[in-house]
Amino acid sequence: MSDADKLGFTPNEMMTIAASRALKSDDVCFVGIGAPSAACNVARLTHAPDITLIYESGTIGTAPDVLPLSIGDGELCETAVTTVAVPEMFRYWLQGGRISIGFLGAAQLDKFGNINTTVIGDYARPKTRLPGGGGAPEIATSSRQVYITMAQSKRGMVEKIDFFTSFGHGEGGDHRKRLGIDTAGPTLLITDLAIWKPDPVTKEFTVVSLHPGVSREQVQETCGWVVKFAEALDETPAPTELELKTLRDLQARTKATHQGTAKGKAA
């Protein structure tokens, strides 16, 4: 019997649900694709029905019935309050300071919330060329706060990232301020094992809450830097029935929809 069977939920489900709880109905959230998208929509379907979800394709106030595969799926536009052109999205809405939360995923992350989604290895001669930043470099600096969500692994959570795609707290401390960035930057990291917040002074991510059944050792074993734990460590409340059902229904609808287009496909 696995841990997930005993608990009644998987670590990934706990991650998505813990991330969804961080969002409020009055948030205006710029949604990154993948894990952030699931969390944002679970929030909208449970405790934050009035949240404004924005995808970088220009869809503002969208309410998709299934999770989009891309940031520009048709349903995002069909259910949005309005759809604007991409330059307007980045100039007026993001740069203009309208976004309260930028919600990002990460391929590589360091303890100061700096994100790499560009290359593994050297930029000019990469070992692995990743997709790159897309909207993230400016989401990370123009959103009032940044939330990050990713599953823990030693490959993903590293002492030193290979490329600064999106600036978090840099070398820590007041590094953002020194670069003229006046937004708060990463204020929350939700992984499949724990909830992390930056130390108020050093800005290093510190574990403040362990998910149910997770030990300190597990968190350290799946992280590439020496983990700091808060003195008063909480336990993340387990997912409620409603949260789990909402997430699972959403994922089932999503799977059925995206596979549905395969029928009779040419070539």
Partner 1 sequence: MVKFLPLKEAVAENLHDGDTVAFEGFTHLIPTAAAHEAIRQGFHDLTLIRMTPDLIYDQMIGMGMARKVVFSYVGNPGVGLLRRARDAIENGFPRAIEVEEHSHAGMANAYEAGAAGLPCAVFRGYRGAGLASVNPNIKSVSCPFTGEVLAAVPAIRPDVTFIHAQKADRKGNVLVEGIIGIQKEAVLAAKRAVVTVEEVVDNFDDLHPNLTVLPNWTIAAISVVPGGSHPSYTHGYYERDNAAYLEWDEIAADRDRFQAWMHKNVIESSAEDFAGRVEHLRKAA
User: Residues interacting with partner 1, by CB under 8 A?
Assistant: 33-34, 56-59, 68-74, 76-77, 83, 85-87, 89-91, 94-95, 118, 123-138, 141-142, 163-167, 170, 175-176, 179-181, 257-259, 261-267
In the complex, the smallest distance separating the C-beta of residue 36 from partner 1, rounded to whole angstroms, is 13
- For partner 1, give the closer residue by CB, 176 or 211: 176
- Residue 262 Cα distances to 256, 258, 265, angstroms: 11, 8, 5
- For partner 1, give the closer residue by CB, 64 or 239: 64
In the complex, the smallest distance separating the C-beta of residue 26 from partner 1, rounded to whole angstroms, is 25
- For partner 1, give the closer residue by CB, 9 or 93: 93
- For partner 1, give the closer residue by CB, 72 or 212: 72
Catalytic residue list contains 56: yes
In the complex, the smallest distance separating the C-beta of residue 209 from partner 1, rounded to whole angstroms, is 28
Neighbours of 71 (CB within 10 A): 18
- For partner 1, give the closer residue by CB, 131 or 200: 131
- Residue 105 Cα distances to 50, 165, 206, angstroms: 23, 12, 18
In the complex, the smallest distance separating the C-beta of residue 254 from partner 1, rounded to whole angstroms, is 10
Q: From the candidates 56, 75, 171, 235, give the one annotated as an active-site residue.
A: 56
In the complex, the smallest distance separating the C-beta of residue 11 from partner 1, rounded to whole angstroms, is 21
Q: What DSSP assignment string belongs to the chain?
A: --HHHHHTS-HHHHHHHHHHHT--TT-EEEEPTTHHHHHHHHHHHTT-TT-EEEETTTEES---SS--SSTT-HHHHHTSSEE--HHHIIIIIIITT--SEEEE--SEE-TT--EE-SEEE-SSSEEEE----TTHHHHHHHSSEEEEE----TTTB-SS-S--SB-SSTTSTTHHHHTT--S--EEEEE-SSEEEEE-TTT--EEEEEEPTT--HHHHHHT-SSPPEEEEEEEEPPPPPHHHHHHHHHHHHHHHHHHHHTTTT---
Catalytic positions, written as ranges: 56
